Amino acid sequence: MALGYVFAVLATLASGSGSILESMGVRRVAAQGGSSRDLIALWRQWLYFLGLGVNLLGFAFASAALHRLPLFLVQSMLAFSVGVTAMISSFMGSRLRARGWGALVVGATGLVLLGVSAEPGPAQALAPQWRWILLAIPVPVAAIVFYARRHHHVGATVALAFGSGVSYSVVGISARTLHVPDAVWRLVLEPAAWSIVLNGLTAAALFAMALQKGGPTGVTAIMFTTNTALSSFVGLVYLGDNVRDGYVTAATTGFVLAIAGAIAVAHYSANTRHKEPLPEPVGTRV
C-alpha cells in the first residue's frame, strides 16, 4: 500500500503546482491588457493550459491513491495542496509571512498524524442505486446557481462555496468506489465515472462563482471544510475506511490540524497576493 501514499503525495504536488501555472497564465493575460474571463486570450496562454494538464494529472494520481487509501487521508492531503502553492509562490518571490510558514508546519504535522493513523485498503462496494444517486447530485447542487444569481448577500456566497464542497466530496467518493473493468472502454458504462466528470465540472463552476462574489479566504475555508468533512464521514461510516487501532485520537487531531493549516495558509497567501502590485498592462508605460 506504500504506492498509495506515493500517489497521494504526487496528487498534492500536482494540484499545488498546477494552480501556480494557471495563475501565471491568467496574470499574463492581465499584463497584456486582457481579462481573466476572456477565454480567447486564455487560449493563447500555454501556461494556463499546462496548469490544467498538471491538475488533470494530479486528479489521476488522486484517483489511484483513493483506490488504496481512506478518503479522510487523501482528501486532507488534496486540501493541503494550497500549502504547495504557497511554498512555490514564496520561492518565486511572493513573501509569505512567518504565520503562513507556521500554518504550513501545522498542516504538515496534521498530515503526518493522518498518514500514520490511516488503515490502507480498498473501499466497500457501493450499491448500484447509490451510484446513480451520486450521478444525480449535480442537479440539486446546480439549483444553488439560480439562488445565487438572484441574491448578492453573504448567504449566496456561502451557498456557492458549500455546493462546491459537496460536489468535490462526491467526486472523491465516486473515485474511491469506482470499479475499473478489465476492458477500459467499459468505463463509459460506469455511473461513478460520469459522476466524477459531472460533479467535477459543477464543483469548479460553483467555486469560480463563489470567488466572484466573496473573498478567497472564506470561500476556500467553506469549500475545504465541506469537502473534507463530508467525504471523510461517508468513507468512515459507509465505505469501510478505518483508523488503526489505538490511533483514533491521533487521526482526529491530525484531521483538525490539516484542515486548519490549509485554511490558514490560504488566508495568509491571499493577504500576500493582495499586497502584490498588479502587472502593468502592455502599452501603458510612458
Q: What local confidence, expressed as pLDDT, does residue 285 receive?
A: 38
243: helix, strand or coil: strand
For residues 133 and 178, state if they share a domain: yes
Number of helical H runs and strand E runs in the chain = 12, 2
Q: What local confidence, expressed as pLDDT, does residue 275 receive?
A: 45
How far is the first Cα of the chain from the last one, in angstroms, to the nearest whole number?
Answer: 60
In a domain, residue 56? The reply is yes
For residues 114 and 129, state if they share a domain: no
pLDDT band at 20 (very low <50, low <70, confident <90, very high): confident
For residues 174 and 79, state if they share a domain: no
pLDDT band at 42 (very low <50, low <70, confident <90, very high): low
Q: Which residue has the higher pLDDT, 56 or 26?
A: 56
Can you give the pTM of this predicted structure? 0.82
Q: Which of 187, 143, 178, 179 is nearest to 162 (CA)?
A: 143
Q: Which residue has the higher pLDDT, 162 or 39?
A: 162
In a domain, residue 271? The reply is no
Q: What is the pLDDT of residues 183-197, one digit of tens each?
A: 777 778 888 889 999
Q: Which residue has the higher pLDDT, 167 or 181?
A: 167
What is the residue range of 215's domain?
123-240
Q: What local confidence, expressed as pLDDT, does residue 126 receive?
A: 80
For residues 153 and 63, state if they share a domain: no
Task: Name the domain boundary from 121, 150, 185.
Answer: 121
Q: What local confidence, expressed as pLDDT, does residue 33 receive?
A: 55
Measured on CA atoms in the order 210, 211, 215, 221, is the torsion positive or negative?
positive
Chain centroid offset of residue 245 CA: 29
In a domain, residue 214? The reply is yes
Stretch 64-90: mean pLDDT, rounded? 89
Do 60 and 166 form a contact (C-beta atoms < 8 A)? no
For residues 130 and 98, state if they share a domain: no
For residues 128 and 215, state if they share a domain: yes
User: What single DSSP character describes residue 186?
Assistant: G
Considering its fold, how many domains does the chain have in total?
2
Res 280 pLDDT > 50: no
Q: What percent of the chain has pLDDT over 90?
A: 36
What is each CA distance from 1 to 31, 125, 178, 240, 242, in whole angstroms?
Answer: 46, 19, 18, 16, 14
For residues 3 and 112, state if they share a domain: yes
pLDDT band at 26 (very low <50, low <70, confident <90, very high): low
Task: Name the domain boundary from 121, 143, 173.
Answer: 121
In a domain, residue 230? The reply is yes
For residues 103 and 183, state if they share a domain: no
Task: Name the domain boundary from 67, 102, 121.
Answer: 121
In a domain, residue 27? The reply is yes
In a domain, residue 20? The reply is yes
For residues 130 and 110, state if they share a domain: no
Q: What local confidence, expressed as pLDDT, does residue 213 receive?
A: 77
- Mean residue pLDDT of the chain comes to 82
In a domain, residue 252? The reply is no
For residues 20 and 81, state if they share a domain: yes
Dihedral (C-alpha) 219, 225, 231, 233: value to the nearest 10 degrees?
-150
Residue type, 126: L
In a domain, residue 28? The reply is yes
For residues 116 and 1, state if they share a domain: yes
Q: What is the pLDDT of residues 79-125, one digit of tens each?
A: 888 888 888 888 877 777 888 889 999 999 999 999 999 999 888 88
Q: Which of 111, 148, 162, 110 is nearest to 5 (CA)?
A: 111
For residues 47 and 149, state if they share a domain: no
Measured on CA atoms in the order 26, 29, 34, 40, is the torsion positive or negative?
negative
